[in-house]
Amino acid sequence: MKKKTGILLSLALLIVLVAGYSLYQHSLGNQDTKQITIVMKNKDDVFYEKIVQTQTSTLSELLNELKDKNEILMESENSAYGMYITALGKDELVQQDPSSSLYWTYRSDNNKQCLANTYCDAADVLVIEDGDVFEFVLDSYQ
């Protein structure tokens, strides 16, 4: 009897672990290879536009992957709200300039999470999907 109970408990634990891992993977978003379009511009001048392939789950992971591959230049800080981008570039780093009210922002007209919220969340929690387009703009904000 103890042997049957032990087997049933082991089986139940295995089911809970598999289900938990499945939920965890789902929370990370789709980890299949996806194509994401990244556009970077300084006001109206586009200096980087490329469709990249990735298996990352979040926008911050994608940006760090591109930085690690020397595809882009980027500086960021951790803030209470998550990743805060202070500089981006392709051949040279373009810094934000708070004294001129110039800041890096990003948006997407097709990312599900951005559309659902009417704004894009912090890059750390922004789940990316195949076909997403993200536009990073250095522009003045008052």
Confidence at 44, pLDDT banded by 50, 70, 90: confident
pLDDT of residue 2: 64
Lowest mean pLDDT of 16-25, 38-47, 117-126, name the range.
16-25
| Predicted confidence (pLDDT) at residue 16 exceeds the cutoff of 50 | no
In the sheet with 73-79, reading across from the earlier edge strand, the strands are: 73-79, 82-89, 93-95
Cα gap 102→119, rounded to integer Å: 19
pLDDT score at 67: 97
Q: What percent of the chain has pLDDT over 90?
A: 70
pLDDT (0 to 100) of residue 11: 52
The model's confidence at residue 19, banded by pLDDT at 50, 70 and 90, is very low
Dihedral angle, C-alpha 138, 75, 70, 47, nearest 10 °:
10
For residue 56, give the DSSP letter. Answer: -
Q: Which of 73, 67, 57 is nearest to 123 (CA)?
A: 57
Q: Mean per-residue pLDDT for 86-112? A: 95
Could you tell me which residues come within 8 angstroms of residue 110 by beta carbon, excluding any fewer than 6 positions away?
131, 132, 133
Handedness of CA 78, 130, 132, 63 (dihedral sign): positive
Residues 94 and 139 sit within 8 Å (Cβ to Cβ): no
Residue burial 37-74, b: 16+ Cβ < 10 Å; e: rest: ebebbbeeeeebeeebebebbbbbbbbbebeeeeebbb
Q: Is the per-residue pLDDT at 82 higher than 60?
A: yes
Q: Would you say the pTM of this structure is higher than 0.85?
A: no
Nearest CA among 98, 126, 86 for reference residue 134: 126
